[in-house]
Structures are given as structure tokens and as C-alpha cells.
Amino acid sequence: MKFNDKKVVIFDLDGTLINSTPDLALAVNYMLESIGSKTFDESIIDGWVGNGASILVQRALSGGVTIDNSLSSDLIEEALDIFLKFYGENLSVKTTLYPNVLDTLKLLNSKGYSLAIVTNKPFSFIEPILKSLEMFELFDYFIGGDSLVDKKPSPLPLLHVCERLNVTIKESIMVGDSKNDILAGQACSMDTIGVTYGYNYGEDIESYSPSVVIDDFGDIRELL
């Protein structure tokens, strides 16, 4: 398949462009230790990533993907504050780009595509991470999970990007690793590319029927 009508490529961040699990796991376990709870292996925390900081913290407090409804709001608030402070000071200690990300983004940029990021990660963390990985200048626009009144899988962030960059849905495409990315695109009839290597809670991204599924980020070069 070849997409010939696109002007804007919208990317998810965690699990699509960057492997941030090592730093997220450090922050989660620091938070858990601080409140006297047991910590978890990075491989387990990996399965909790993708719905924003608050959900990640609540999953950690619950010890699994399913959130314990008996968690007190005070505990959640305390834990989230600890997590955000620590993570904010350790955003790119072990975080890395996935293979072929930087070269592919540079190529798309040189071809005249506008590049954007729609992530459920808090907005304040995006710029420092992009700068530390030397790709900040490649993006025209980015928003976080706290930038608007709703986040993925709502289509609102994607519609907002289209409006901001003055393009139609048909002229845009969403690239992501999780069902939230694919569902957000489908909710506004935007084409989607699903990557198989990221965070999708142990589910096969293909089961959510993205327009195209790729195993390597570099494959995008053949699609656009």
C-alpha cells in the first residue's frame, strides 16, 4: 500500500518513537518504595504503559492492569505527585529511540511532510524528551494527554491537530503502537499505521484493524 494523499503524519510517542519503559519503571518503583509498597519488574510495568501517568500510577498501586476501585483519592494524588516529580527529573536516563526512527523522521521532514505528536503523556515532558533525543526540531506540533479535555482513544486530539495544521482528516495519518492510537484514528475516519513492537497490553495490534501494520518503523518510508 502507498499513501499518496498525506500532508501530516501524527505519531504516538511512547512505544512508537521511544522505548521509555526503563525510565517509567524507575519512576514507578521509586514511587512504590516511597509509600512502602512492593516494587515490580520492568517487564510487568511495561504492560501498564500507554494511558497516561495517572492510569499508570493507579495500575502500579493496584498491582495489575485492572485498577482497584477501593484506592483512596488521597493515596492516588500522593503517589502521582511522587511519580511525576521523580520522572520529570529522570526523563531520558535510559529512554532510547526505536530502530530507524530518527532517519525516517528526517526523511519525511525533508520530503515536506508536517510531523506531529499526539501522546497521552503529560505535555510538560514532551519537549525535554524530544530535545534529549535530538529530534525536537523535526516536529511542527505536539500535544499531551493533559493538553485538551479528552485524550486518545478519543478522536479529539487528532481533530485538533488537523485544525491546527490546517489539513483534512484525509490528508493526515496516525502512527501508533496501541489500540488507543488506532481507535482514535478510526473514530474520525483517519488512516492508521500500527507498529507491532510497542506497548499494547499484550494484544496484537492487528486485531484492531489499522490500515497497515508494520514491524519496523523504517517501513514507513515505503508507505509515504
CA distances for 136 relative to 99, 102, 105, angstroms = 17, 11, 11
Instruction: State the catalytic residues.
Output: 12
d(CA 5, CA 80): 42
Alpha carbon distance 133, 145 (integer Å): 21
- Tell me how far apart the alpha carbons of residues 97 and 215 are, in angstroms, rounded to a whole number: 15
Task: Name which of 193, 194, 190, 143 is nearest 171 in CA terms.
Answer: 190
Residue 181: name the closest of 11, 49, 64 by CA: 11
- 16-48 exposure pattern, b = at least 16 Cβ within 10 A, e = fewer: bbbbbbbbbbbbbbbbbeeeeeeebeeebbbbb
H/E run at residue 21: helix 21-34
Alpha helices in 66-116 (DSSP H): 73-88, 101-110
